[in-house]
Chain A
Amino acid sequence: MKVRDIVRRAGRSLRQAKARTLLTSLAISVGAFTVTVALAAGAGTQSYTDSLIKNNGDARNLSVFPKLDDGENKTPKEYGVASESSTKGVLSDKDVEKIKNIAGISEVTPVYNINISYMTRGGDAKKYEADISIKADQRELPLAAGSLADNKVAEGSIVVPEDYLGVLGFDSASDAIGKSFTLHFEKQQLFTGAVAEGKDQTYTIAAVDKKGSVLQYSAALRISPADGKKIYEFEKPSASQGNAYFGVDARVAQSADLTTVKQAVKDAGYSVFSLQDIQEALFQFINVVQWGAAGFGFLAILASVFGIINTQYISVLERTQQIGLMKALGARRRDVGRLFRYEAAWVGFLGGAIGTGLALLTGLLNPVIASALALEPGTKLLLFNPITSIVLIVSLMIIAVLAGYFPSRKAAKLDPIEALRTE
């Protein structure tokens, strides 16, 4: 028999048992739906996270910290012998120099630990407490007004968060641009902590930043590393004391390979973090969740396999006469087996098509999901890949054919004489 004729007959038999065909394929479609949605959600989340990280960070920035004691290397150190790298939990200028000399590092900025007493617009204006940070990286800040060349804060300039504008008495973000702004710093005495000396520093507001689509945002005043260094040196209790930093921001040159440089810094005896690490950790998490959900789908498909086997067995029993007749008329065993396998394939196709079809419809919910999670409008957390859907449907057809193997073999083996015995 020609394949086309068998496929057509298979389709016809299924149409004649519409309810049964539909119910069996619905069982498969549950699995297909779950798998498709899980994969779409995984892909969507991954792409969203990807864009989020790109918008939010400077991928070429490495945060370098003193090597953390991982608790594994417990060989006691000899007293009085200087160890190669800093183990006191801080980095010294020597470390900064060492990191700067690592191939591929173009720039190193220490993370200066500075504190601010208050901020004010000067004169009789009220004084407010505030957080301050030094912008050492070149990641893009979402700005409400003003501009930053190269995403850097120039010396003598300051970036003020939008949240501060109200209390400071600015009418709007653009109103603040170009205005002068004073910060007060205090130098504390060693041991007693008493204020030894105060200092006002005046800056020009270069930009106003706002909360954008960022992973984490903290409202803080942002100044340049150069200004930060000045304040750090002022606030340091004793000038004779060596500089100590919590960490440094190291910039990887455009031409250098991020992973190689990172490893080089690590090998030099430091702990390194970069956006890459966050990205990897996030993706790993997304993957686990995605495949967990898909796993449920695969279980549903597995369960539906037994449905196919059962239905096909019943179908063989019901159609004993038809099978007998076909064989009496000279149909080959192979033809009869194929007829039932193709029916199973049709059921698999139908189930896959219904499942993925319904899953694609959930894509219409993307705007709803985005607004429910307060994401930017237009964000698609469900991303469907047509190739995945095709692969899934084809796999389901193959699975269905495999499930139909035993029933089809039973049909093929049927003795026509027995099948046609009516009395």
Chain B
Amino acid sequence: MLFYKRHAKPGVKGWELRKTLGSDYPKVLKILDDYLKALDLQVKTVFEEGKEVEKPSLEQLDRARFLITLRGDLTPKEAKMVGWRIDDLAGLAITIAYIISKKGQSPRKDVEELLREKLPGWKVGINIDRYVRYGYLAQDESGQLYLDWRTRAEVDQKALIDLLLRTEASPASA
């Protein structure tokens, strides 16, 4: 259930798990999470509220989405096999980092201006639309971009910011 897509989103809602597995499904997920360690996978919970909830109630769990993600890092070689071009990944990384630095929201035109410094102009709009379609970003009617469910599920935001701040430009590419 956790592997398959429903309505273009991977994973399954808590209430669906409760229907199939019973109300003890959190325990079942914990056992599954331990089992998946050997395969370098993990069970990830994405709460509807958007933030991590320390002690979630049953109702919050029912509304949350559960999916499987990688547990460890990807190597650059493995990242190529995921199917993303380096330009597109870099664009996504910059966009997510920039929105985090702007307290979780930013006007789309500011993000486009930032991306245009390093990516071809014609690609910028297409890429942002792609990030929105995949669920990494959300856009409201007033053109504000926010981080969406897939970013919360897949990206360790704190680790990303720390790594970016620690990284110095490599001599070969500087």
| Co-complex (A, B) | no
**Which residues of A line the B interface, CB within 8 A?**
none
